[in-house]
């Protein structure tokens, strides 16, 4: 039993399951936006299928990232302890895991509706393709953001089967939010990435320039969240949540500097996770006043 538990922990560590907290609240927001549009609350089973899609897609993407980057991870002191380069999880096991999660994702979209099913290959191309982009473009952070930005619009499509501007505003907010905090995370590997001819914003512009670009992207996040609130005619509850969310973004920038990266994990993981969850709670309160 202890051995099985340890193995599960290794798999959860491989895919950084705790980081699902970044995008999952925005998938739930997309679901709630769809409910507001239709004014009909669908079955709880649909919400479970949406969450399943999130878990399967992200698990496949993270495992693929670890699989495709294994030779780089093995040479980086910070990442050499990861499960694949350390030999804790075998390469063929990871590959089977990736294929299985991709299949489960596609199958779940099939159970949702035709439009989600037809778009599932596009979603997989984006979220898996991100791992390759750092080999040829410093815009890789925005590709990651694009992958996570599919959460609100995807969940909205699951409920309504039609596009709308409002969930797209949230998707743009997630794109720039994710791109911004991924730049902060990439600061740790600036020197290694440069030596390995990998691309990133910090490699392109240095640590100071990278933090500046991150700040600009987070300003874009603020713009789209405010635009979403105005377009959706949301109340003070939503805008209070937006203020809290943006305050935490400002906080994460205040604790990281080009000369001090000791709090990158606090800024990247903890702060963004808290921001995402708190914002979703405020949005839930907004939803309950309108439904």
Per residue in 219-239, pLDDT (tens digit) is: 999 999 999 999 999 999 999
pLDDT for residue 219: 98
Convert the pLDDT of each residue in 198-215 to its tens digit.
999 999 999 999 999 999
82: which 2 tokens?
Answer: 């990861």
Cα distance between residue 189 and residue 204, in whole Å: 12
pLDDT for residue 18: 63
Cα distance between residue 245 and residue 213, in whole Å: 19
Cα distance between residue 230 and residue 225, in whole Å: 9
The model carries a pTM of 0.94
Cα distance between residue 136 and residue 28, in whole Å: 33
Length of the chain: 291
220: which 2 tokens?
Answer: 């874009």
In the block, tokens 């990861």 appear at: 82
Cα-only R_g, the chain: 19
The pLDDT of residue 270 is above 90: no
pLDDT for residue 22: 80
pLDDT for residue 83: 87
pLDDT for residue 118: 97
Would you give the distance in Å from CA 155 to the centre of its chain?
14
Query: Does residue 257 sit in helix, strand or coil?
Result: strand
Looking at the structure of the chain, the number of domains it has is 1
Convert the pLDDT of each residue in 163-199 to its tens digit.
999 999 999 999 999 999 999 999 999 999 999 999 9
Q: What angle do CA 14, 17, 21 make, to 5 degrees?
A: 150
Convert the pLDDT of each residue in 104-123 to its tens digit.
999 999 999 999 999 999 99
Residue from 57, 33, 287 nearest 159 by CA:
33
Cα distance between residue 201 and residue 192, in whole Å: 13
pLDDT for residue 132: 96
What DSSP designation does 205 have? Answer: H
Cα distance between residue 216 and residue 44, in whole Å: 38
CATH number of the CATH domain containing 260: 1.10.357.140
Alpha helices in 21-90 (DSSP H): 24-38, 44-68, 70-75
Cα distance between residue 42 and residue 39, in whole Å: 9
In the block, tokens 């979220």 appear at: 127
pLDDT for residue 3: 58
The span from the first CA to the last CA of the chain, in angstroms, equals 46
What DSSP designation does 270 have? Answer: I
Convert the pLDDT of each residue in 6-46 to its tens digit.
667 777 767 666 667 788 999 999 999 999 999 988 889 99
pLDDT for residue 5: 65
The pLDDT of residue 56 is above 70: yes
Range of the domain at 8: 2-290
């Amino acid at each position: 039993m202890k051995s099985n538990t340890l193995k599960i922990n290794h798999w959860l560590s491989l895919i950084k399951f705790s980081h699902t907290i970044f995008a999952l609240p925005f998938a739930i927001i997309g679901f709630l936006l769809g409910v507001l549009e239709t004014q009909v609350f669908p079955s709880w089973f649909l919400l479970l299928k949406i969450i399943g899609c999130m878990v399967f897609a992200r698990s496949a993407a993270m495992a693929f990232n670890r699989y495709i980057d294994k030779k780089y991870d093995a040479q980086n002191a910070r990442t050499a302890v990861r499960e694949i380069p350390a030999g804790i999880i075998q390469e063929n096991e990871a590959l089977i895991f990736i294929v299985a999660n991709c299949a489960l994702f596609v199958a779940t979209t099939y159970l949702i509706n035709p439009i989600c099913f037809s778009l599932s290959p596009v979603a997989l191309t984006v979220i898996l393709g991100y791992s390759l982009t750092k080999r040829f473009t410093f815009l890789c952070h925005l590709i990651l953001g694009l992958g996570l930005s599919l959460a609100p619009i995807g969940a909205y499509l699951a409920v309504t089967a039609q596009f709308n501007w409002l969930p797209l505003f949230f998707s743009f907010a997630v794109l720039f939010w994710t791109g911004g905090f991924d730049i902060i995370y990439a600061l740790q590997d600036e020197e290694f990435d440069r030596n390995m001819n990998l691309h990133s914003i910090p490699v392109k512009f240095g640590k100071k320039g990278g933090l500046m670009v991150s700040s600009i992207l987070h300003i874009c996040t603020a713009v789209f969240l405010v635009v979403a609130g105005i377009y959706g005619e949301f109340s003070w509850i939503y805008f209070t949540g937006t203020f809290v969310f943006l305050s935490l973004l400002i906080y994460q920038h205040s604790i990281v500097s080009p000369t001090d990266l000791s709090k990158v994990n606090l800024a990247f993981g903890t702060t963004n996770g808290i921001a995402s969850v708190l914002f979703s709670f405020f949005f839930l309160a907004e939803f309950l006043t309108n439904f």
